[in-house]
């Protein structure tokens, strides 16, 4: 039944849109569409954004692994190309601080009336276009450190449920300590 | 207190809700939530509009075909969802220069727009090099315990925290 649903193109586009509406709604309710809240997170003055992400990871992690255990969907981890991830990640981080929003939250910020976010979105289109244009020149660099679509439990050769338990405890403890410290 | 009109929700409720949306993406669409490929596809569509069909021959656009797909609709949905939320809560307002930016760089709109544009270029480029963004790597990828996604998540924040400290923190 689910496999049939995955093949229905129009229904899938509608589902993508509806999940997006929910995502945008929640991002805004959490304050993540606000430049000030994101930059204050990066300045380590306000930990709202990290609390949202950590809770989403714990919730997502448990549910997704139950879904792939019992239902048709399979995990789809991205390839671990560690060099481009580190360098691209740092470039992303610089942009994250300067724009004060990320690709998802910038889309949300536009919806809340942030005119400057529109320039961020135009910039992201340009940046993605520049990447597409130079891609053939950096293809070797992109591939040379590829470890494949590996997961943490696979690379440590331990049962994934122990990793899920460990991450849930670590992330919850960090959030508990943040609350106790008054953040 | 009406939760739809109050200003902000608990980050734990919001985070759990986003986690449930990740489940729904897997369950109903067999997809991991992400945003940055939508920008790559849109960029390809814009380029196709200017340069014609030959854009499709670019190797990168063979991997990410410039068309409207599930993730593109998701990003469109984010705009609409945030609009609905901010209208209900009354927080919708035209913002030209955010407060924290103004404290450092002053109230010039041109400067803020230029900053946002440059930040956006770096984000768009960096996200495509790293293979994802705060959603695709930071939430969906980490939820799948993907090694590369945890690494990306770490470096997004290392880069972000250092840069923010330097430009807004006065270090």
The string of DSSP codes covering B56-87 is: GGSHHHHHS-SS--HHHHHHHHHHHHHHHHHH
Overall residue count recorded for chain B in this entry: 171
Mean pLDDT within B1-27: 88
Cβ-Cβ contacts under 8 Å between A and B: the total is 538
Beta carbons of B160 and A97 less than 8 Å apart: yes
* pLDDT tens digits along A46-80: 999 999 999 999 999 999 999 999 999 999 999 99
- Which pLDDT value is given to residue B170? 73
Beta carbons of A125 and B39 less than 8 Å apart: yes
* pLDDT tens digits along A124-182: 999 999 999 999 999 999 999 999 999 999 999 999 999 999 999 999 999 999 999 99
Beta carbons of B85 and A24 less than 8 Å apart: yes
Query: Scanning every residue of chain A, which has its alpha carbon at the shortest distance from the alpha carbon of B101?
Result: A36
Which distant-in-sequence residues (6+ apart) come within 8 Å of B54 by Cβ?
none
- Which pLDDT value is given to residue B7? 75
At residue B96, does pLDDT exceed 80?
yes
Q: Which of B61, B86, B119 sits opposite A120 (nearest CB)?
A: B119
Bridge partners, residue A114, by sequence = B95
Pick from B50-54, B118-122, B139-143: least confident: B50-54
**% pLDDT > 90, chain A:** 99
ipTM above 0.90, yes or no: yes
Mean pLDDT within A115-132: 98
Note the pTM of the prediction, 2 decimals. 0.96
């Amino acid at each position: 039944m689910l496999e049939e649903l995955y093949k229905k193109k129009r229904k899938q586009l509608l589902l993508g849109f509806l999940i997006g509406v929910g995502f945008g709604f929640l991002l805004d309710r959490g304050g993540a569409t606000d430049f000030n809240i994101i930059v204050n997170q990066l300045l380590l003055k306000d930990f709202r954004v990290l609390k949202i992400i950590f809770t989403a990871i714990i919730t997502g992690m448990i549910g997704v692994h139950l879904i792939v255990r019992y239902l048709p969907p399979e995990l789809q981890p991205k390839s671990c190309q560690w060099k481009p991830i580190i360098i691209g990640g740092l470039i992303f981080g610089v942009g994250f601080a300067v724009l004060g929003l990320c690709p998802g939250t910038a889309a949300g910020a536009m919806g809340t009336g942030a005119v400057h976010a529109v320039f961020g979105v135009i910039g992201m289109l340009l940046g993605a276009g520049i990447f597409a244009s130079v891609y053939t020149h950096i293809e070797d660099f992109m591939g040379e450190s590829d470890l494949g679509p590996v997961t943490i439990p696979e690379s440590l050769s331990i049962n994934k449920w122990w990793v899920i338990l460990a991450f849930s405890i670590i992330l919850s403890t960090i959030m508990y300590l943040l609350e106790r410290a008054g953040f | 207190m009406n939760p739809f009109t109050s200003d902000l929700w608990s980050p734990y409720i919001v985070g759990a809700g986003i986690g449930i949306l990740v489940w729904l993406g897997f369950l109903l669409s067999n997809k991991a939530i992400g945003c940055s490929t939508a920008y790559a596809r849109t960029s390809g569509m814009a380029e196709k509009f200017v340069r014609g069909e030959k854009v499709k021959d670019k190797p990168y656009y063979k991997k990410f075909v410039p068309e409207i797909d599930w993730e593109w609709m998701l990003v469109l949905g984010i705009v609409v969802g945030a609009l609905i939320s901010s209208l209900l809560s009354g927080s919708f307002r035209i913002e030209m220069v955010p407060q924290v930016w103004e404290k450092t760089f002053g109230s010039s709109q041109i400067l803020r727009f230029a900053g946002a544009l440059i930040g956006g270029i770096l984000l768009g480029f960096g996200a495509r090099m790293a293979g994802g963004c705060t959603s695709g790597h930071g939430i969906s990828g980490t939820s799948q315990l993907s090694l590369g996604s945890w690494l990306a998540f770490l470096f997004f924040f290392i880069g972000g925290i250092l840069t923010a400290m330097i430009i807004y923190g006065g270090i």
